[in-house]
Amino acid sequence: MSIIIAIVLVVLGSLFGSFACAQVWRLRARQLEVDRRDGEVVDESEYQRLKGLLRPVSRDRSECLYCHHQLTWYDLLPILGWILVGGKCRYCRKPIGVAELLAEVGLAAAFVLSFFYWPYKFLTVADVGLFSIWLIALVFMTILLIYDAKWSLLPFSLNISLIVVGAVFFCIASLQHGINIMSAGGGLLLLSGLYLLFSLFGWVGVGDGILGFGLALFLGKWELAFLTLFLANVLGCCMMIPLMAAKRIGRHARVPFGPFLIAATFIVMMWGSGVINWFFHTSSTSLIRLML
């Protein structure tokens, strides 16, 4: 039964990964339209390339961003469609980009790993609902991750949507599993308050603080929030140090932090409790040995 569920989740994850990447480009097109209307300087070539995505939903169809040829159903097959055309448009041979493939593979993997390493038991309908809400949140996180990685911006509306989903998740988790409100509040202060404070000095963007609020609602404990904060910075350093060594970025370059926060949240959500239990067990054992 677990294998069947895993296969279904792979299919759903890849489909939603494709959907997430499509929404990234639509969000970008709308952002450029708003910026242009407000008199801000935008990349005109990018705007012209993406403005076709501004059509009403009733007339919206997936198309190549370069030649604007409407894509067929077999062009849109997740993962397989990208591989069959070699990562290039079937009609104009322009590169599609690796983000699409990574989103489809990544979200498929995230769905399956979430099922096998889910921190709560599937005992009631509410528990299944909790897991379903988490999967929805993963789609929002994927859109935010890609958008921030590409343009160093976390759309406010999407951040708020994640907070709403997180609030529903937190309420159900609190009722089902008795989350400590004080501990959850500490997590919000760590992941949101700290980043909002840092944003006052220009070290991170305000969007990172808002994102941290949404992510903390899923973690529910200050210990998990602290571990997420630590891991996000470790991941950021692992990415930045090689780039700095290769002189691809300068010492004072601003690197989008949202992707690291999201990746760290997923890792901690799956395995964080085990790491914390191991740490406290090891620490207490070492302390007892020292006392003896």
* C-alpha 292, offset from chain centre: 47
CA distance 130 to 119: 11
pLDDT at 39: 85
Residue, of 45 and 203, whose pLDDT is higher:
45
pLDDT at 167: 97
Residue spans per domain, the chain: 1-116, 136-283
pLDDT at 159: 97
Spatial neighbors of 159 by CB under 8 A, at least 6 apart, are: 144, 207, 210, 211, 214
pLDDT at 259: 96
Check pLDDT > 80 for residue 59.
Answer: no
| pLDDT tens per residue across span 200-209 | 887 788 999 9
Write the DSSP string, 104-149: HHHHHHHHHHHHHT-SS---SHHHHHHHHHHHHHHHHHHHHHHHHH
As a whole number, mean pLDDT of residues 81-110 equals 89
| pLDDT tens per residue across span 2-36 | 899 999 999 999 999 999 999 999 999 999 999 88
As a whole number, mean pLDDT of residues 242-249 equals 80
- The percent of residues in the chain predicted with pLDDT above 70, rounded, is 95
pTM score of the predicted model: 0.91
- H or E element, residue 85: none
* C-alpha 18, offset from chain centre: 14
Residue, of 70 and 4, whose pLDDT is higher:
4
